[in-house]
Amino acid sequence: MIAFVPFVDPLYGGWDWWYLMLVPLTLLIALVYKAMRCEDLTEVPRQTLVASGKLLGAFLGCAAVLWILLVILERRW
Amino acid sequence: MNDTKRPVSPFVAMIASILVPGLGYWLIGERKRAFTAGGGIILLFVMGILIAGIRVISLPGYEDGYRKYVEGHVDINRRIVTVATTQPAVAVMKTGKTNGSGWPIFAVQRLGANGEPYSIETDQPPIGPSEWVMLQSPMAQLGDNISFLGQIFNGPLCAVAGYLSNAAARADVPKGYSRLADIGALYTAISGMLNLMLIVDAASRAGHAAGAPGAGGSA
């Protein structure tokens, strides 16, 4: 077996829980965005959690709508 | 950490933010913002590379770590076809020899993988010198490396990672094509787009601090 070298080789691609990587992504996007927009930086942690929660909610909402569409289309055809 | 505002030209703040994410904020005295926003962007970029490997940075105009060129050839139906190569033709010379069918044989001088010239004899030479694909079809190359459009806004960070990516490709390091690798590419592209926002915001805040109208952000 060839040794895995971090930052050089890609992580194992067969991992089924890849979508969990969206959680740190949304957290970091929210952190950077709120660090830019908040005048009072003590507000950043709370606003980051709220914004990343909204982002994840939007992701879940989109996934639910697409899943429902898929179920409807599968039943029709 | 002391956040003392200092007057800095918006242009200087912009250039500083391009060079290092968050440096523009640092120069105008907003050091906590520089650490949080700049650090977040660098962390996103580094995490993207950790997930998808260094080859997630795919420089347009390169293939397997080498510059990609195109050149025209005439096929057996006398049509001009475009052929891609990583070893460009720099000179085509007549040899005076012919093959069994009476076709003339040419000596084609090419540049090898490490830049040294070598010559081969062929009856199907390129019709002109090879051209780098980024000069021939830049939009098609960018289209093939769409995440690079986001990654480029990380500035020198992206350039260094691109150089290392080419070195890794030449050493036969595999490129990730899994869904997880796509997520890694997303991390690096989004970090670049966030840095573009940061560049604009740092220049805007610098203008605001210097007294320019209509600048500065709000929550």
Asked if residue B166 belongs to a domain, the reply is yes
B160-216 confidence digits (pLDDT tens): 999 999 999 999 999 989 999 999 999 999 999 999 999 999 999 998 876 655 444
Residue B183 and residue B185: Cα distance in Å, rounded? Answer: 5
Domain end marker among B135, B169, B197: B135
Mutation for B interface: A1, A15, A36, most B CBs within 10 A:
A36
Interface predicted TM-score (ipTM): 0.89
Domain end marker among B135, B163, B191: B135
Q: What is the mean pLDDT of residues A26-42?
A: 95
Q: What are phi and psi of A14, to 5 degrees?
A: -85, 5
Same domain assignment for residues B107 and B130: yes
| Chain B partners within 8 Å of A35 (Cβ) | 33, 36-37, 40
Residue carrying the six token digits 């690079």 = B148
Does the distance separating the beta carbons of A36 and B198 come in below 8 Å?
yes
Nearest residue to B26 via CA among B151, B153, B198 = B198
Q: Are B187 and A23 in contact (CB under 8 A)?
A: no
Asked if residue B25 belongs to a domain, the reply is yes
Does the distance separating the beta carbons of A29 and B194 come in below 8 Å?
yes
For residue B215, the model assigns a pLDDT of: 45
Same domain assignment for residues B78 and B186: no
Same domain assignment for residues B73 and B45: no
**Domain tally, chain B:** 2
Same domain assignment for residues B54 and B70: no
Between A and B, how many CB-CB pairs are < 8 A? Answer: 99
Nearest residue to B20 via CA among B151, B154, B152, B148 = B154
First to last CA, chain A: 46
Does the distance separating the beta carbons of A13 and B177 come in below 8 Å?
yes
For residue B218, the model assigns a pLDDT of: 45
B23-70 confidence digits (pLDDT tens): 999 999 999 999 999 999 999 999 999 999 999 999 999 999 999 999
Delimit the domains of chain A by residue range: 19-76
Residue B212 and residue B203: Cα distance in Å, rounded? Answer: 11
Does the distance separating the beta carbons of B184 and A32 come in below 8 Å?
no
Per DSSP, B73 falls in state E
Sorting pLDDT into bands at 50, 70 and 90, what band is B217? Answer: very low
Asked if residue B2 belongs to a domain, the reply is no
Domain end marker among B116, B135, B154: B135
Residue B180 CB partners (closer than 8 Å, separation 6+): A10, A11, A12, A13, A15, A18, A21, B51, B52
Residue A11 and residue B54: Cα distance in Å, rounded? Answer: 11
Same domain assignment for residues B52 and B104: no
| Chain B partners within 8 Å of A7 (Cβ) | 46, 49-50, 53-54
The C-alpha torsion from B157 through B163 and B166 to B171, rounded to 10°, is -110
Residues of B numbered 177-196 whose beta carbons fall under 8 angstroms of chain A's beta carbons: which are they?
177-181, 183-184, 186-187, 190, 194
Residue B165 and residue B173: Cα distance in Å, rounded? Answer: 9
Give the one of A7, A21, A32 whose C-beta lies nearest to B49's C-beta: A7
Q: Is B148 on the interface with A (CB under 8 A)?
A: no
Supply the range of the domain harboring residue B199. 10-59+146-209
Same domain assignment for residues B201 and B102: no
Same domain assignment for residues B153 and B54: yes
